[in-house]
Amino acid sequence: MHRRSWSAIVLVFTLLLPSLAGAQGALARGTLTGTVRDGSGAVLPGVTVEAASSALIEKTRTAVTDSSGVYRIVNLDPGVYALTFTLAGFSQVKREGIELIGSATLTIPVDLRVGNLQETVVVTGESPVVDVQSTRREAVIQGDVVSSLPGTRSMGSLITMIPGLETTGAALDPSPQLVFMNARGGPSGEGRFNINGMPVANAFAGGGGSSLVYDTVNVDEIAFTVAGGMGETDVGGPVLNIIPRSGGNTFQGQAFVNFSNDALRGNNLTPELMAPTPGPNLRETPGIIKAYDYNVSYGGPIVRDRLWFYGSYRKLNTETAVEGIVGNANAFDLSRWDWVRDDSLNGRLSAGRSIYIGRVTAQVAKKHRVSVNYEYQRRCDGSPLKAETDGCHTRGADWVAVAAGGTTSPEASNNYLDVPYTVLQGRWTSPLTNRLLLEAGGTYFSYTHAGGFLSLPPDFLVLSP
């Protein structure tokens, strides 16, 4: 059934009933904690700790150390933070350059010395890299790392980077394929794929795989929970979460182009391999015939400190030779029922996407942020069987598309697809106090598969720590 996008009424209703939606997904964030002591090593209660970062909605968030001298600032977005420690009768201490990624809990202990309040001691040093307070095993790939990696820029190639994870059928495939993920030795397809903490995956795969081309290019980070999850999802397997870029107060953009052709393809055909039937009679070697991937993205402020935008367009396509599959000379001849080899028409895999992305983020009042993420993809696989037939791919005079893994004649395994994918997400975040953060979100994901239109029910996220 074609499900329409959720309405504001449903979102409000979900806020009132978090128990109905809490199990659908959770966006884990980082935590800064530690113990504050004086010069003698005694703990200091009542110290005001301020965390400042451009990643925060309210720019700063504060906490006060308890009777044991411990502070804890939770639900922090990924970014670089500065901590400031203040207590009457002691010099102010500032710790800068603390990089927080994923859902890590970083321990930052601080010693205060007796002095004037107007005196500030700036402490510099490397950010802790080991989370000693959480059982969660998490690996995080940041956006600048993804941009610099030489690879296919696909989700499958990123999964292979993470120790303990494996993917089926799409690891380094240059063309977009159905991607599954699981822990090594675990059930196939047990992993889950999230965007902004909410599941986005194919319905028929149980949420564990998708032929959607995830936007791995325009991200702040991609977090992989390998083990030790706290029950945020319906499975015990790994969870991948994409945090997309959403613009900021500076106009920034990037462009990427990747191209390859058959000049870079090897050829090991020998007379023995090319021997006519009953010999192998091969005319093609496997490999890329033509491939390209280009992406342009740009973002910045519409109203500084109030409204931001981010947009992206990506186009990719790959054509790959298939050895041993040729056309049928009697195709479309209704007077002939026999198959006759046509060596002038080679089989070829052809797959591509056109991807449009738009994101808008608004700061409403001081403590309310609303964001909308819209992604539209047009999937083009295969080609029409006739060269004169128009389509998203045009068949060549010397080739015709076949289905991936096909071992039958092209007219029996063409699998021509020209179908859309749509992802629509909305999120609202409000840190009401230093101890209470309210958040709600919803996702609508629909796509047209070979069997017809499919749509997942809207997914909701509610957090109230």
Residue with tokens 């029996």: 412
Shared-domain flag, residues 113 and 189: no
**Domain closes at, from 123, 156, 171:** 123
Rounded CA Rg of the chain: 27
For residue 234, what pLDDT band results from cuts at 50, 70 and 90? low
> Across residues 61-70, what is the average pLDDT?
89
- Give residue 320's identity as a one-letter amino acid code: T
Predicted local distance difference test score (pLDDT) of residue 158: 84
Outline where DSSP puts E strands in 155-218: 165-168, 179-183, 192-195, 198-199, 209-210
Shared-domain flag, residues 179 and 210: yes
Q: Report d(CA 172, CA 159) in Å as an integer.
A: 10
Strand partners, 319: 290, 350
Domain total for the chain? Answer: 2
Residue 361: inside a domain, yes or no? no
Predicted local distance difference test score (pLDDT) of residue 45: 92
Strand partners, 376: 356, 422
- In 3D space, the residue among 144, 211, 114, 153 whose CA is nearest the CA of residue 417 turns out to be 211
Q: Report d(CA 66, CA 33) in Å as an integer.
A: 12
Identify the weakest region by mean pLDDT among 98-112, 172-186, 424-438: 172-186
Shared-domain flag, residues 204 and 169: yes
**Domain closes at, from 189, 209, 244:** 244
Predicted local distance difference test score (pLDDT) of residue 20: 32
From its phi and psi, is residue 415 left (phi > 0), alpha (psi between -120 and 50) or beta? left
> Across residues 98-127, what is the average pLDDT?
76
Predicted local distance difference test score (pLDDT) of residue 4: 39
**Domain closes at, from 188, 215, 244:** 244
CATH number of the domain where residue 113 is located: 2.60.40.1120
Residue 441: inside a domain, yes or no? no
Predicted local distance difference test score (pLDDT) of residue 2: 38
Q: Report d(CA 264, CA 242) in Å as an integer.
A: 33
3-state secondary structure of 128: coil
From its phi and psi, is residue 300 left (phi > 0), alpha (psi between -120 and 50) or beta? left
Residue 224: inside a domain, yes or no? yes
Predicted local distance difference test score (pLDDT) of residue 132: 54
For residue 57, what pLDDT band results from cuts at 50, 70 and 90? low
List pLDDT tens digits, range 176-210: 677 888 888 777 778 888 898 888 887 655 556 77
Predicted local distance difference test score (pLDDT) of residue 332: 84
Shared-domain flag, residues 116 and 145: no
Query: How many percent of the chain have pLDDT more than 70?
Result: 78
Predicted local distance difference test score (pLDDT) of residue 211: 80
Residue 412: inside a domain, yes or no? no
Predicted local distance difference test score (pLDDT) of residue 3: 39
In whole angstroms, how far apart are CA 305 and each of 55, 164, 197, 309? 12, 41, 24, 12
Predicted local distance difference test score (pLDDT) of residue 1: 37
For residue 128, what pLDDT band results from cuts at 50, 70 and 90? low
What average pLDDT does the chain have? Answer: 78
> Across residues 103-123, what is the average pLDDT?
77
Q: Report d(CA 197, CA 50) in Å as an integer.
A: 26
Predicted local distance difference test score (pLDDT) of residue 355: 95
Residue 226: inside a domain, yes or no? yes
Residue 109: is the preceding peptide bond cis (ω within 30°)? no
Above 90 in pLDDT, residue 256?
Answer: no
Shared-domain flag, residues 55 and 98: yes
Identify the weakest region by mean pLDDT among 49-53, 149-153, 210-214, 289-293: 149-153
Q: Name the residue range of residue 156's domain.
A: 137-244
Predicted local distance difference test score (pLDDT) of residue 120: 67
Q: Are 349 and 404 in contact (CB under 8 A)?
A: yes
Shared-domain flag, residues 88 and 166: no
Shared-domain flag, residues 101 and 192: no
Is 0.85 topped by the overall pTM? Answer: no
Predicted local distance difference test score (pLDDT) of residue 453: 45
CATH number of the domain where residue 238 is located: 2.170.130.10
